[in-house]
Amino acid sequence: MMALPAWKAPPDDVGRAWHACWLFLASFVAAFVVGEGISAALGYVDHGEVSMRAGLLAGIPACVVFALPTLLVAHYGRRAVREGHPQGQVPVWVALGVSLAFLVQNLAALAAGLLTA
């Protein structure tokens, strides 16, 4: 089998998917800013007593912002799988797991806050 010239070689989508996982660091900061900003706009400067409505209004957009890198990881991972690199699924599952863990942690914090209030 003849090797492709460098200018025709397919992109390394598996590597790009793994590199896109680093965007979770920036999305974590952005999610914190969004969640705290919405919470402050709703008048909850002190986190002592937050209603479920306010928690969901601030938490859902924050979780969406945090999960945005998952879309890019999924794009590159699925493209890698289509190109014949099944290891492209691994960063997609990692990104989904990280996003799900963030969502579960936020829901647990909201539930714990409601139980103690």
pLDDT (0 to 100) of residue 114: 73
Mean pLDDT along residues 97-110: 94
Res 33: pLDDT:
96
- At 47-103, the pLDDT tens digits run 667 788 888 999 999 999 999 999 999 999 999 999 888 899 999 999 999 999 999
Q: What is the pTM of this model?
A: 0.83
pLDDT at 45: 75
Read off the pLDDT band of 32 (50, 70, 90).
very high
pLDDT (average), residues 1-13: 57
Structure tokens at 32: 């914190």
Q: What is the pLDDT of residue 61?
A: 96
Q: Say if residues 111 and 55 touch (Cβ distance below 8 Å).
A: no
As a whole number of Å, the end-to-end CA separation of the chain is 68
